[in-house]
Structure 1
Amino acid sequence: MSSSTRFYRYLALCSHLLLIAWIILWQFYFQKQFQYSPVFVGIVYVLPLLLPLPGIITAKPYTHAWANFVVLFYLLHSLTVIYAVESERYYALVELALCIGMFIGCSVFARKRGRELGLGLKKLKTVMQEERERFEGRK
């Protein structure tokens, strides 16, 4: 793994772990009023971040790619809180920074590591040429 790829892997991993820790701290310790039960908060806010964690720890490019779909929920959450809840705006800014770090780290790592492993998709032009050669060779 190249040093550039390793940097984005660690950016994704650190941002992901810090985002989990931050969400737990924010929802269970910094919250002044509890609107929902702790079980609900755990399922809705913490569980989605735990799903891609094994693949991110083991540096699987495919997991890094789909983890971006998970982090979009937290990105939207932070933007909504920044706009609507003035008392929690600074908590949401931290969440936003961690989401951006995770999104960039996961995206770039998945792309770079996928290329290093040869997992990229072929261009349509190449696929069409291979199919043409295969079918014309049968006749």
Structure 2
Amino acid sequence: MPSHMQTSQPVLVPPAVEATRWLGFGSALGLVLLGLAWELWLAPLRPGGSWVALKVLPLCAALPGLYLRRMYTYRWTSLLVWAYFTEGVVRATGRGVGDSLPLALLEIALSIALFTACALHVRLRLRKATP
């Protein structure tokens, strides 16, 4: 059969790779939603919300690549996520923690989950050379 008439077969993705995809996408989406809710309604730095909510834009840019399993996105997101982890640690241990302690702990947990998902995803894909 000529090459222009061949139909492409769906690529079978190993379950472990698919699991890291959903953990990464879900934790990144969770960080986006947490960041917006935290800065606009739950415990904003200024009453009525602040421009600090824009901190979620880099994660919004990562969401499509995480969903589509783009290796490069997983790599740069594994570096970016440490900014959110650091913010969570600073806000969990800083002055005037009060109501934001549970939010900071959730940000830390989501950041660790996102980093773990990205690292495992890259490792598994490189080991098995899957698309």
Which interval holds the TM-score relative to the shorter structure? 0.7 to 0.9
Q: Structure 2: how far apart are the matches of 1:33 and 1:19?
A: 17
Q: 1:49 Cα deviation (Å)?
A: 1.1
What is aligned with 1:82?
92
Larger radius of gyration: 1
Any conservation in 2 of the 1:61–1:111 contact (CA below 8 Å)? no
Inter-CA distance 106–34: structure 2 relative to 1 (3 Å threshold): same
TM-score by length of 2: 0.79
Q: Percent identity, aligned pairs only?
A: 26
Structure 1 consecutive aligned stretches of length 4 or more whose deviation exceeds 3 Å? 35-38
Greater share of residues in helix = 1
Root-mean-square deviation (CA), in Å? 2.1
Any conservation in 2 of the 1:61–1:114 contact (CA below 8 Å)? no
Inter-CA distance 25–36: structure 2 relative to 1 (3 Å threshold): closer
1:49-60 to 2 correspondences below 5 Å:
49-60=59-70
Q: Structure 2: how far apart are the matches of 1:33 and 1:99?
A: 21
Which runs of no fewer than 5 residues in structure 1 stay unpaired?
120-139
Paired residue type of 1:42: A
Q: 1:32 Cα deviation (Å)?
A: 5.3
Q: Structure 2: how far apart are the matches of 1:118 and 1:57?
A: 15
